[in-house]
Amino acid sequence: MAIMPGAMLGVLGGGQLGRMFVQAAQQMGYPVTVLDPDSGSPAGRVADDFICAGYADPSALEKLGSQCAAITTEFENIPANSLRSLAKSCAVSPDAYSVSVAQNRIAEKQFLSINGLTVAPFAVIQQTDDFADQDAADLLPGILKVSQFGYDGKGQVKVASAAEFPAAYAQLNHAVCVLEKFMPLKCEISVVVARGSDGKVATFPVAENQHVNGILDVSIVPARIAPLLAGKAQEIACQIAKNLNYQGVLCVEFFVLQDDELVINEIAPRPHNSGHYSIDACVTSQFEQQVRTLCGLSLGSTAQLSPAVMINLLGDVWRNGDPDWNIVLQHPSAKLHLYGKAEARPGRKMGHFTVLSNDIETALSEALHIKQQLD
Ligand code: ADP
Ligand code: MG
């Protein structure tokens, strides 16, 4: 049975994704409780109720479960067991299984491969000798990635030659890793898909993503790729959601190779940075869609109302104090989003802006012009 406005929703994690979920839910008339260990978390500051505790704290989880009709997560590193125990007392989506697959690069790649989907060639590295034992030199030049808890390019080191491997592995503290072949990319794209409890799916338009130092910098939507390729990416995203028996919002990141082959980079069991454009450019945002799937409502239309370019605002932009926001605000079709984070550290996601235009190239050049003025 659908959960109607007025019922309390819960979210594990208080980052910007949680904050935008809270805002979408509140707009629809659902109060929200946020659980996060950080007392100043972006989502906690706008929530109706805030529980400041660790994600595995039994009494905090019990309080959350007792006061919420349904609970979701904004971040994949929630212990799967916390989701499992919450599911005993209320509706939880996505489920512990999907999150456990997405939070571990080894489980994720194995799941995708078993389902006949292409991932970059890789080897599992659990100790230094695994490199030689698996003839992993074939994967070079490659990227060594910690299997868990990496984000925004953190927990990754490039490995150009076999001689570099021991130092690279030491740099990651000999954690369990995957060594991935470095792929020659034509571009990167992503698809956000929502799947309801009834199995119905809706994909958002494909985003074309540009990264700098492993962090998303610019998303251009619709992606400037062949419509057939975009359709194929959307189909794969639906297939992954179905194979996980997923309920909620999921993002699939792809590498597009020179010959237009699609390789899956990773999946995120939540709304995604590359889907932020949907707040200003689509009939339904990815966060409203998260509310809808969580509450068992029908899915909203993912139709895009305008081409859009989203640019991330990292802490680096604050190097001389607060930026001059007029640079963004004086553009009549630029939408500014700030996450309310107190401290602006380099590389930290502080906000984003989205520029709308009837023409994607115009949106891109105007967005890049604003970015350049801010820098
Ligand atoms: P994160 O979890 O930090 O987002 P990703 O695995 O998505 O980590 O890597 C971040 C970015 O680094 C990618 O979006 C891509 O630009 C680049 N990258 C990662 N792996 C590869 C690879 N195997 N080949 C080429 N580029 C890669
Ligand atoms: Mg990524």
Q: Residues with Cβ within 6 A of ligand 1?
A: 120, 143, 145, 150-153, 180, 182-183, 185, 188, 211, 214, 253, 265-266
Residue 53 Cα to ligand 2 midpoint, Å, equals 27
**Angle, vertex CA 9, rays to CA 52 and CA 64, nearest 5:** 40
Give the tens place of pLDDT for each residue, 235-292: 999 999 999 999 999 999 999 999 999 999 999 999 999 999 999 999 999 999 999 9
pLDDT of residue 214: 92
Domain limits of the chain? 9-92, 121-181, 185-374
Residue 352 annotated as binding?
no
Give residue 364's pLDDT band: very low, low, confident or very high (50, 70, 90).
very high
Residue 102 Cα to ligand 2 midpoint, Å, equals 11
pLDDT of residue 135: 85
**Do 248 and 347 form a contact (C-beta atoms < 8 A)?**
no
Assess whether pLDDT exceeds 90 at residue 134: no
Give the tens place of pLDDT for each residue, 139-194: 999 999 999 998 888 999 999 999 999 999 999 999 999 999 999 999 999 999 99
Give the tens place of pLDDT for each residue, 55-110: 999 999 999 999 999 999 999 999 999 999 999 999 999 999 999 999 999 999 99
Say which CATH topology domain 121-181 has.
Dna Ligase; domain 1 (3.30.1490)
Block residue for tokens 């925004």? 152
Block residue for tokens 């490659």? 142
pTM, whole model, 2 decimals? 0.97
CATH number of 9-92: 3.40.50.20
Residue 215 Cα to ligand 1 midpoint, Å, equals 9
Residue 349 Cα to ligand 2 midpoint, Å, equals 14
Give residue 213's pLDDT band: very low, low, confident or very high (50, 70, 90).
very high
SS3 144: strand
Assess whether pLDDT exceeds 90 at residue 51: yes
ipTM value = 0.98
**Do 34 and 55 form a contact (C-beta atoms < 8 A)?**
no
Ligand 1 atom closest to residue 145's alpha carbon, by position in its atom list: 6
CATH number of 185-374: 3.30.470.20
Residue 109 annotated as binding?
no
Q: What is the distance, to the nearest Å, from the Cα of residue 314 to the centroid of all Cα atoms in its chain?
A: 16
Residue 300 annotated as binding?
no
pLDDT of residue 30: 98
Distance between CA atoms of residues 242 and 348, nearest Å: 33
State the Rg of the chain over Cα: 20
Residue 339 annotated as binding?
no
* Atom 22 of ligand 1, residue of closest alpha carbon: 182
**Do 65 and 217 form a contact (C-beta atoms < 8 A)?**
no
Q: Among residues 21, 46, 57, 77, which one has the least CA distance to residue 271?
A: 21
Distance between CA atoms of residues 185 and 88, nearest Å: 44
Give the tens place of pLDDT for each residue, 179-210: 999 999 999 999 999 999 999 999 999 999 99
